[in-house]
Amino acid sequence: MLDPNKFGTNEEITWCKGCGNFGIFVALKNAFDKLGWKPNDVLLTYGIGCHGHMVNYLNAFGFEGLHGRALPVATGAKLANHKLNVISIVGDGDQLGEGGNHFLHACRRNTDITCIIHDNQVYGLTVGQSSPTSAIGFKSRTAPTGTVEEPINPVSLALAAGAPFVAQGFSGDIKQLTDLFVEAIKHKGFSLVNVFQPCVTFNYLNTYKWFYERVYRLEDTSYTPNDKVVAFQKALELETKLPTGIIYKTEKPLFEESLPQIKEKPLIDQPIDNIDIERLFSEFR
Amino acid sequence: MIKNSVTWKIGGEAGYGIMSSGLIFGKTCLRSGYFVVDTNEYPSLIRGGHNTYIVRAAREEIFSIVKPVDILIALNKNAIDYHKDELSQDSHVIFDTDRISKEDTKVLKKSKLYPIPLISLAKESGGQEIMANTVALGATIALLDGDFEILSDVIADVFGTSKKEIIDINIAVARAGFNYVKKNFPGKISYSLEKQKNKRDLMFLSGSEAVALGAVRAGCKFFAAYPMTPINPIINYFAKNGPDLGIVYKQPEDEISAINMAIGASFAGVRSMTATSGGGFSLMAEGYGMAGMTETPLVIIEGQRPGPATGLPTWGGQADLKFVLHAAQDEFPRIILAPGDPEECFWLTAEAFDLAEKYQTTALVLIDKHLGESRYWSPIIDSSGYKIDRGFLMSEADQQKDYKRYELTKSGISPRPIPGREGFTFRVNSDEHSEYGFSEESAENRVAQMEKRMRKLELCQKEIPDPKVYGDKNAKIIFVGWGSSKGSILEAQKILAEQKIATKFLHLTYMNPLPQKFLEKFFGAIKKEKVLMVEQNYTAQCAALIREKIGYEIKDKFLKYDGRPFYPEEIVEKVKAL
């Protein structure tokens, strides 16, 4: 490794001691380093939630936007300059609750963006409400007698919506997570990494211990991530065991490739001075 | 004696080709040397509702349609029943004897009738039932002594992408209508479309099309918009022409995505726009504020239609002024422009791009269904002298130094970099932020950043042009209007002038910031003059804005909220009742 610390800033980190965010943050910096990037090789868009504070800690181009809306901002930026490496840092409530619609459409649109969900099964920044991924029975401030609704499975949702790269990681396994981020970023097309992470303050159920008892690495098995039906079966394996690794991977045409207007160069590099407008008037005569 | 202007209306069921007939007839009038305005009316249905299209053509400059219809094309009985009371004293009705009986036309007591078997003629000349409208176009041209060659050229242009046979059949069908009238109804009437030379070189386009052209001219590279009446013509233009023009139109999953995509593209460094109507803009409100907070330039086109909720989806209004002035929580510089005709749509859209980048905030252009979807004659716009102003956009070389995205400057404007370049990194932040863009909640920082953002609007106010005042500067009757009702008021002024009633008309196009000094002087000078506010909403939103900002209360108001545009005659009546 060269120097992952170059991706850090001097801002004081305010995440709780032991927060799963740290593992994701470290793995992300490692991945950038492994890819041979400099801080100005990547643009990140962030949602709102504890994860979003990363905008202050990560030295790269950053856009801290609205709750749930990181993917549309990323899409606009990518289409304006498809040479940019674009990553969306999002949360479970942020992306699967508020931004659920954007998630579905980003999966099926297939722009070359990587989406990293910080999935801690709870709302942290608003101090402890149920999230779309909270387990049935999970007690929270909004569900004092236990969560009733079926939790969203981000991986099977992404598969159903057509995402060409779907992976699952765990913030407690930085080595594997680093590799998953590298693979996801390198994959041509929309890539999802759903990262399980404990919230040490508000999630009493999904603790480090709880995760360590369940997670296992797919690369230690004979699993190959090239069959969508098998991938669905793997994605549904969430009761007693939690698979981590690449769940599904396929090649699909990029949305960007459908645009002849950016084939030669990105929109950002196309001159806008002296546009010949007169030729467009003839249609209105 | 030949009258100066003729109003033509075609009515029939949705699906009868009413819209294309209107376009063809309007273009034929323009190319015959006339000044032309048009408008359409349609319910929010695909088939079965009653559609109409009105075209007014004149030998002199006209600014809006008028109420009386001189020539009515009735494709079905409804067209007679619905429009019989709109006919002028000297009116002519062409009706389809294949769908309408003699009995049905008994209600038309004062009009000259032209029973024509439109469907039969269409079929006999190789066409189909749905081409009855085209037969009627040929019949109209014959009745008005127009040049059939112009009509056939327009048909060929409008159906330009169709197969040659389709074009030929349509021309043959129109010819059948033309010949039928020449043979069965010879003689001249008091309206004419005889080919003449117009001294001015004109175009015929809608407000929406002019918005699209203005955006193209200003270098818009990215456009994200979710389909919604009445801004669909803008989407259609970019979806169709984007690949040729080097502009990406992206259809998003919803309006929230639309505005966030547009913001993302602008952040990445290209000129970027979104468009919607009031309902979609309700969804965009949070993004609107985010553009303000992150200081990302953004152009928004808001095509008003009556609400609330779904309201009257295919009709017009001016009831979103206060909404766009205040939408999104808290305060940020919201620049709001309101053009009144296609030429202003072109220029103010281009201006919106410059203002958005110069002041690094939102610039919203308010149009409405009537302005957006009606076509108007317009001079050929000469933009050869226009220079794009990208404000403090940094060069690649500038981006090498230490940098604060939200540097506190005297003007409030900080140099804006483009992500992805070599040199420093930076971040923009929808949280309140330090000069470096890091989240920062101290009271001192909040005040400094808030004042920095709001200073930009103060500077903008100093730079905006004075509004235009039309008419007689000594007139005792003063109209005040804004945005899309311009044409109706100008036309009312013309009618009043013919009756020796002098008026002047203050037309506002910069709604925020307002041209404060000019308005203080203008309203300060009013003594005994009668001032009439004309706007299309229930609470007189612009009058309230003037009272709030200028301190002048306009007592007389002509307000309309039925979804229909102002007819000049209504304004004239209102003036006489003052």
Share of chain B above pLDDT 90, in %: 94
In the predicted model, what is the mean pLDDT of chain A? 96
Distance separating alpha carbons of residues A171 and A117, to the nearest angstrom: 11
State pLDDT tens for residues B387-437.
Answer: 999 999 998 888 877 789 999 999 999 999 999 999 889 999 999 999 999
- Contacting residues of A for B271, CB less than 8 Å apart: 272
Residue A1 has pLDDT above 60, yes or no: no
Q: Which residue from B minimizes the CA distance to A70?
A: B260
- Contacting residues of B for A75, CB less than 8 Å apart: 250, 257, 261, 264
Distance separating alpha carbons of residues B506 and B93, to the nearest angstrom: 39
Instruction: Label residue B15 by pLDDT band (50, 70, 90).
Output: confident
**What are the backbone angles phi and psi of residue A134, rounded to the nearest 5°?**
-65, 140
| Local structure of residue B481 (DSSP, 8 states) | E
Q: Which helix (H) or strand (E) holds B112?
A: strand B112-116
Order of strands across the sheet that contains B510-512:
B248-250, B220-224, B271-277, B298-304, B362-368, B334-337, B510-512
Is residue B99 within 8 Å of B114, Cβ to Cβ? no
State pLDDT tens for residues B434-491.
Answer: 999 999 999 999 999 999 999 999 999 999 999 999 999 999 999 999 999 999 999 9
Q: Is the preceding peptide bond at B252 cis, omega within 30 degrees of 0? A: no
pLDDT, position B246: 97
pLDDT, position B46: 65
Q: Among the residues of B43-117, which ranges form H helices? A: 77-83
Q: Measured between CA atoms, how close is A10 to chain B, in angstroms?
A: 11
Chain A 93-112, residues with CB within 8 Å of chain B CB atoms: 101-102, 104-105
Of the candidates B27, B260, B419, which has its C-beta nearest A43's C-beta? B419
Q: Which positions ≥6 away from B315 have C-beta within 8 Å?
A: B41, B305, B306, B369, B563, B564
| Bridge partners of residue B39, in order along the sequence | B54
Order of strands across the sheet that contains B468-471:
B468-471, B503-508, B477-482, B530-535, B556-559
Long-range contacts of B233-236 (CB under 8 A, 24+ apart): B233/B206, B233/B208, B233/B209, B233/B372, B233/B373, B234/B208, B234/B209, B234/B275, B234/B301, B235/B275
| pTM across the whole model | 0.97
- Contacting residues of A for B379, CB less than 8 Å apart: none
pLDDT, position B399: 82
Query: Can you state the angle between helices B132-143 and B164-184, rounded to 10 degrees?
Result: 50
Q: Which two tokens stand for residue B467?
A: 């509004």
What mean pLDDT comes out for the span A227-256? 95
Rg of chain A, C-alpha, whole Å: 20
Q: Measured between CA atoms, how close is A136 to chain B, in angstroms?
A: 30
Q: Measured between CA atoms, how close is A88 to chain B, in angstroms?
A: 12
The sign of the torsion formed by the CA atoms of A159, A165, A169, A171 equals negative
Distance separating alpha carbons of residues B16 and B23, to the nearest angstrom: 14
Instruction: Tell me if A72 and B252 make a contact (CB, 8 A cut-off).
Output: yes
Check if B246 contacts A (Cβ < 8 Å).
Answer: yes
Is residue B449 within 8 Å of B426, Cβ to Cβ? no
State pLDDT tens for residues B481-535.
Answer: 999 999 999 999 999 999 999 999 999 999 999 999 999 999 999 999 999 999 9
Distance separating alpha carbons of residues B73 and B132, to the nearest angstrom: 10
Instruction: Label residue B41 by pLDDT band (50, 70, 90).
Output: confident
State pLDDT tens for residues B167-226.
Answer: 999 999 999 999 999 999 999 999 999 999 999 999 999 999 999 999 999 999 999 999
DSSP SS3 for B286? helix
Distance separating alpha carbons of residues A96 and A157, to the nearest angstrom: 10
Distance separating alpha carbons of residues B51 and B127, to the nearest angstrom: 22
Q: Which two tokens stand for residue B43?
A: 């319910």
Neighbours of B415 (CB within 10 A): 18
- Contacting residues of B for A79, CB less than 8 Å apart: 222, 248, 250, 261, 265
Q: Among the residues of B360-442, which ranges form H helices? A: 369-373
Instruction: Tell me if B265 and A267 make a contact (CB, 8 A cut-off).
Output: yes
- Contacting residues of B for A113, CB less than 8 Å apart: none
pLDDT, position B16: 85
How many Å separate Cα B567 from the centre of its chain?
Answer: 16
Share of chain A above pLDDT 90, in %: 96
Q: Which two tokens stand for residue B183?
A: 């043979």
